[in-house]
Structure 1
Amino acid sequence: MIKVKGHLFVKLSICALSLSSCASLKKGTTNKKPVTTPATADKGNRITFIDGIATSRHSKNTTTNYNPKDVSISKNITRGSANLENAQSWQFKYAQMLDVAVEDVLNQKLYSFIDDWYGTPYRLGGKTRSGIDCSGFVNTLMNTVFQLGLSGNSTDLFTQVKRLSARDLHEGDLVFFRIHKKRISHVGIYLENDKFVHASTSSGVMISDLKEPYWKKYFAGGGRL
């Protein structure tokens, strides 16, 4: 009987030690800091962290109130091609004659005047559609298109302008030539791309090129009023 009680006491002691050991282990475990879990994405494509802070997955690349359709011209259409669609027949005509882009031919009043007078025969001292000389044509065009009270022959006009080299010429500037001896004897009006309009003795009112050997040989310079 005493022997049985001794065995029972030993078993109770072992159980007590086991329980105290488990309690100590559990207490130690609860003192550890919680492990941070990776961010998770919900169905709305937003990332939520354990501290309750949420951010969009594409927040760095998003522009506030950006509207990709809010552009004046489609990315597949350049401004030049947009203007080209609205160009008129006279623009195509003179763009080809001047060898420039259609959208660069803009002065309708100027080119309408040239169109009306194109091919008018040359006549010394003439000022009408039946015949006109170089200075008469220049005076008529400048007064009609640019509202200038211009008069005089080519030599007179040369004294009224600010002299320019060929590289500084712009639309509406005058171009002068010394065809007879050393004096100024011919005048025209610069357009674009080395082209100028004038009343020639051979073909009347026409467009020529300053790079042509004949005009290059006699070119005396340009001028601006």
Structure 2
Amino acid sequence: MAIRIQFTKSFILLGLVLALALSMVFASFGKKAEASVSWGQEVTEEAKRYIGSPYKWGGTATKGFDASGYTQFVYKKSAAKISLPRTSKDQYKAGKTIATKNLKEGDLVFFNTNGKDVSSVGIYLGKNKFITVTPSKGVSIQSLDTTYWKDRYVGAKRFLEQ
């Protein structure tokens, strides 16, 4: 009789341990996962990886970018996996128009640098900073507050779900 009681206690203890383990495993099912970063952060982190890459007219790869080739490359390479049109002018025609005061990380900012129409683009980083490609600096972080960019600013577009 003593053996039978000891076996039953062991069996019950094993069952309780198994039930506890299963409850811990399944406790997270049914809960909504929360992302630690936004799509905008995904895009801007990808963009920063190429700081210092050289400028190349018509360039679309790490050996050399132009501004729209850079934004197209970054958006496609990032976790967002978004295909943008090739030129800054066509990128400006797409996406959702965003007021400057509503800019969020990952939005595209557009400029008229040729005196005719939209001719340059960058990726907004926050705090009036953006990352773009220029012939003199390659991929670099710039400020919307500088006279050069402020005078040439055309607008912003959003391609990412927030």
Q: What's the counterpart of residue 133 of structure 1?
A: 66
Displacement, 1:180?
A: 1.1
Summarize deviations over 1:103-154 as a string: whole Å, max 9, x none. Answer: x999774454234311111001112222111001000111122211223200
Give the residue type in structure 2 aligned to 1:140: F
Determine if the alignment matches structure 1 residue 142 to structure 2 residue 75. Answer: yes
Q: What's the counterpart of residue 97 of structure 2?
A: 163
**Alpha-carbon separation, structure 2, partners of 1:134 and 1:161:** 17
**Alpha-carbon separation, structure 2, partners of 1:194 and 1:115:** 16
Summarize deviations over 1:16-71 as a string: whole Å, max 9, x none. Answer: xxxxxxxxxxxxxxxxxxxxxxxxxxxxxxxxxxxxxxxxxxxxxxxxxxxxxxxx
Change (3 A) 1:112 1:222: closer
Give the residue type in structure 1 aligned to 2:133: A
Q: 4+ residue runs of structure 1 moved beyond 2 angstroms?
A: 104-116
Give the residue type in structure 2 aligned to 1:132: F
Q: Structure 1-normalised TM-score?
A: 0.50
What secondary structure sits across from 1:158 in the alignment? helix
Displacement, 1:172?
A: 1.1
> Relative contact order (C-alpha < 8 Å, sep 6+): which is higher?
2
Unaligned stretches of 5+ in structure 2?
1-36
Equivalent of 2:116 in 163, 167, 182: 182
Instruction: Report matched runs for 1:53-68 at 5 Å.
Output: none
**Alpha-carbon separation, structure 2, partners of 1:181 and 1:107:** 30
- The CA RMSD measured in Å over matched residues stands at 2.2
Q: What's the counterpart of residue 47 of structure 2?
A: 114
Percentage of matched positions with identical amino acids: 34
Change (3 A) 1:219 1:124: same
**Alpha-carbon separation, structure 2, partners of 1:162 and 1:109:** 19
Give the residue type in structure 2 aligned to 1:144: K
Instruction: Report matched runs for 1:1-225 at 5 Å.
Output: 109-145=42-78, 146-225=80-159
Displacement, 1:224?
A: 1.1
What secondary structure sits across from 1:117 in the alignment? coil
8 Å contact kept, 2:104–2:124: yes
**Alpha-carbon separation, structure 1, partners of 2:45 and 2:97:** 28
**Alpha-carbon separation, structure 2, partners of 1:106 and 1:209:** 22
Q: Aligned pair count?
A: 122
**Alpha-carbon separation, structure 1, partners of 2:83 and 2:152:** 27
